[in-house]
Amino acid sequence: MMAGMEQDHPIFTESIRRIRSALGETGLGGLEQQVLERLVHSSGDLSIGTLLRFSAGACEAGADALRAGALILTDTEMAAASVRPMASRTLGTSVRTMLEWAPLTAPVGSTRTAAGMRAAWQQLEADRPAPIVLIGSAPTALEVLLKLVADGAALPTLVIGMPVGFVGVAESKRHLAESGLVQIRLEGSRGGAGLVGAAVNALLRASE
């Protein structure tokens, strides 16, 4: 039984049981399996595992950081809203969005979220443990983070990189894959606030 499932609604518990049965043997470790099951539950798509990628030890690093008080930084309020209930119910983890640092209007040639990512990381990179960064909607923000790190900024504990869409998304995911950062990502055009939230929620519930 997944950690904490004895407290879940019976419908959720039965959903996970059916998902696990339908998936069969995945070859994933315990935490990775829990992330996959949460993603399937949130998307209704049993094939999503074919797009899911983990760097070595990514889930364990994220769970350890959450237990140690790491902040969760999201690219949108929608992603933050999908995480806050679980964060409150489990570890009391702080969840913030990079839009708190964003300008009122987008800079020329960029986006508000990208500008917010840059300003947020300038303030938060000294945090220990380093924040966990969730990107579900803004490949531009992911590109900014990768550029900051490449230029010598502090590393995030974990990047959950699942921007959704068709403009700049495939490129940003490829750059994340090439970055060497600790990461969980979805290949292709799939992603979104609900899926990054589902991934970190699996880690939160496992970290209680």
Identify whether 96 is part of a domain: yes
Check which CATH number belongs to the domain holding 149 and give it: 3.40.50.10230
What confidence tens digit (pLDDT) does each residue in 42-95 have? 999 999 999 999 999 999 999 999 999 999 999 999 999 999 999 999 999 999
Q: Around 192, how many Cα atoms within 13 Å sit in the side-chain half-sphere?
A: 9
Identify whether 44 is part of a domain: no
Q: What is the pLDDT along the chain (208 residues), one digit of tens a residue?
A: 444 445 677 998 999 999 999 999 999 989 999 999 999 999 999 999 999 999 999 999 999 999 999 999 999 999 999 999 999 999 999 999 999 999 999 999 999 999 999 999 999 999 999 999 999 999 999 999 999 999 999 999 999 999 999 999 999 999 999 999 999 999 999 999 999 999 999 999 999 8
pLDDT at 8: 73
**Cα–Cα distance list, 94 to 46, 57, 174 (Å):** 31, 23, 29
pLDDT at 7: 62
Identify whether 123 is part of a domain: yes
pLDDT at 9: 76
Identify whether 19 is part of a domain: no
| C-alpha–C-alpha distance, residues 208 and 97, integer Å | 23
The 3-state secondary structure of the chain reads: CCCCHHHCCHHHHHHHHHHHHHHCCCCCCHHHHHHHHHHHHHHCCHHHHHHEEECCCHHHHHHHHHHCCCCEEECCHHHHHHHHHHHHHCCCCCEEEHHHHCCCCCCCCCCHHHHHHHHHHHHHCCCCCCCEEEECCCHHHHHHHHHHHHCCCCCCCEEEECCCCCCCHHHHHHHHHHHCCCEEEECCCCCCHHHHHHHHHHHHHHCC
Determine the structural domain holding residue 125 and report its residue range. Answer: 50-206
Identify whether 192 is part of a domain: yes
pLDDT at 3: 45
- Closest by CA to 98, choosing from 121, 125, 128, 132, is 121
Identify whether 160 is part of a domain: yes
Could you give the residue numbers annotated as active site?
A: 41
pLDDT at 83: 98
pLDDT at 25: 93
Identify whether 64 is part of a domain: yes
Based on the structure, what is the number of domains in the chain?
Answer: 1
Taking the CB of residue 3, how many other CB atoms lie within 10 A of it? 15
Identify whether 201 is part of a domain: yes
